[in-house]
Amino acid sequence: MAPRKIIIDTDPGQDDAFAILFALGSPDELDVVGITTVGGNVPLALTSKNALKVVELAGRPDVPVHAGCPAPMVRKLITAEYVHGETGLDGADLPEPVTPLQSEHAVNYMVRTIMDAPEGELTVCTLGPMTNLAMAMTMEPRIVSRLREVVLMGGGFFQGGNATPAAEFNIFVDPHAAHKVFDSGVPVTMAGIDCTYTALMTPEWLDRLRATGSRAAIEAANLADFYRQYGTHKFETPARPIHDACVTGYLLAPQIYEQRQCAVTIDIVSPETIGMTVVDWWHVTGRRKNCNVLRRIDPAPFFKLMLERISALP
Ligand code: RIB
Ligand code: CA
């Protein structure tokens, strides 16, 4: 079976780096045709540089990286250096990238690539604010019907939010973009914090990853050591959720997820709950079930597969 073609839209971010390495370490199943970057965890110039660093770390400088939108569609950019460090990839000592960014803007790249691809071939995986994809849908609405699926890290319901009591960071940063995508009719699968809080990366797993000895594995473990410093006020153990990697895990092993097709709407009006993904888990509204909601993961096969794939990189 031919590998599934995906575009990864991302704001690296240590957990974004894991998701990208996990995907690039799975060439038999996934063909990363391109990476697009967005302002999110850190400003766009850094997320773009970080994406280049990650493809070079993976030994895949051939994967084109296109810089996209520096800020959300309506609101001002909110960043998360408090989690990811000033560079967005604190923890690893990665060299300045020698690979250049592509000159084509990410939104134009998305529109062109999706319109040129056979209908239903491409999946867009968003790991940060969904600004680029929403802008592409605005620029060329026909991409909606041409996409196979959008698989995103974002949102949450039973766990509430991590940016506010109601909203998860990626959706909170650009709720209008998320509203556009969820309302577009494109098939959506959402790995929210309900799911990612069950994908807890442990120090023991990181030791096993580092012990595999590949440079990618060692640097990924170094990234994680920095990343997991945040959250001691939230999590009772040293384990930390590796949010974005849950998107890659879903593409590779959907069977290890508890999931349910639900109606999901995005709050863009309420000051207290803007960015909330309102999940109709019990189908009480009768609305169209527009989203496959990932609720839980089976961590054992997830982390076994991720270690296997990242350690397969050089
Ligand atoms: O809420 C977690 C999400 O926000 C992850 O994608 C992380 O990288 C940050 O972007
Ligand atoms: Ca991210």
pLDDT digits (tens, 9 = 90+) for 187-224: 999 999 999 999 999 999 999 999 999 999 999 999 99
Residue 284 belongs to what domain range?
4-311
- Tell whether ligand 1 has an atom less than 6 A from the beta carbon of residue 41: yes
d(CA 27, CA 213): 20
Close Cβ partners of 297 (under 8 Å, ≥ 6 residues apart): 195, 198, 199, 246, 249, 256, 257, 258
pLDDT value, residue 301: 98
Q: Summarize the confidence of residues 51-60 as an average pLDDT.
A: 98
The vertex-182 CA angle with 177 and 186, nearest 5°, equals 115
Q: Which of 176, 233, 243, 283 is catalytic?
A: 243
The pLDDT-based confidence of 231 (bands split at 50, 70, 90) is: confident
Residue 31 sits at φ, ψ, to 5 deg, of -115, 100
pLDDT value, residue 170: 98
- Tell whether ligand 1 has an atom less than 6 A from the beta carbon of residue 257: no
pLDDT value, residue 234: 83
DSSP 8-state class, residue 255: G
Terminal Cα distance for the chain, rounded: 25
Work out how many domains the chain is built from and give that number. Answer: 1
CATH, residue 20: 3.90.245.10
Nearest atom (ligand 1) to Cα of 193: 1
Close Cβ partners of 39 (under 8 Å, ≥ 6 residues apart): 11, 47, 69, 70, 71, 72, 77, 79, 129, 131
**Is residue 177 over pLDDT 90?**
yes
At 104, the amino acid letter reads E
- Tell whether ligand 1 has an atom less than 6 A from the beta carbon of residue 290: no
Residue located nearest, by CA, to atom 1 of ligand 1: 169
Given a contact cutoff of 8 angstroms between Cβ atoms, the answer to whether 201 and 303 are in contact is yes
Distance 13 CA to ligand 1 centre (A): 7
Q: Chain-centre distance of CA 32, in angstroms?
A: 13
- Tell whether ligand 1 has an atom less than 6 A from the beta carbon of residue 9: no
Closest listed residue to residue 114, CA positions, set 131, 132, 96:
132
pLDDT value, residue 233: 84
pLDDT value, residue 236: 87
Residue 100 sits at φ, ψ, to 5 deg, of -80, 155
Distance 118 CA to ligand 1 centre (A): 30
SS3 content of the chain, % helix, strand, coil (to 5): 35, 20, 45
Residue 243 falls in the annotated catalytic set: yes
d(CA 94, CA 132): 26
d(CA 59, CA 222): 18
Close Cβ partners of 32 (under 8 Å, ≥ 6 residues apart): 6, 7, 8, 20, 23, 24, 60, 63
Q: Say what percent of the chain tops pLDDT 90.
A: 96
Note the pLDDT tens digit of each residue in 74-122.
Answer: 999 999 999 999 999 999 999 999 999 999 999 999 999 999 999 999 9
pLDDT value, residue 232: 82
How is residue 272 written in tokens?
């207290």
Beta strands in the chain (DSSP E): 4-10, 30-37, 65-67, 122-126, 149-153, 188-191, 200-201, 240-241, 257-266, 277-280, 291-297
Distance 173 CA to ligand 2 centre (A): 11
Pocket test for ligand 1, best of 10, 16, 37 (most atoms within 8 A of CB): 16
| Partners of 190 in the β-ladder | 152, 293
Nearest atom (ligand 1) to Cα of 169: 1
> Which residue's structure tokens are 């949450």?
156
pTM recorded for the entire structure: 0.98
**Is residue 314 over pLDDT 90?**
yes
At 280, the amino acid letter reads D
- Tell whether ligand 1 has an atom less than 6 A from the beta carbon of residue 15: yes
Pocket test for ligand 1, best of 9, 130, 153 (most atoms within 8 A of CB): 153
Task: Compute the mean pLDDT over every residue in the chain, rounded to the nearest whole number.
Answer: 97
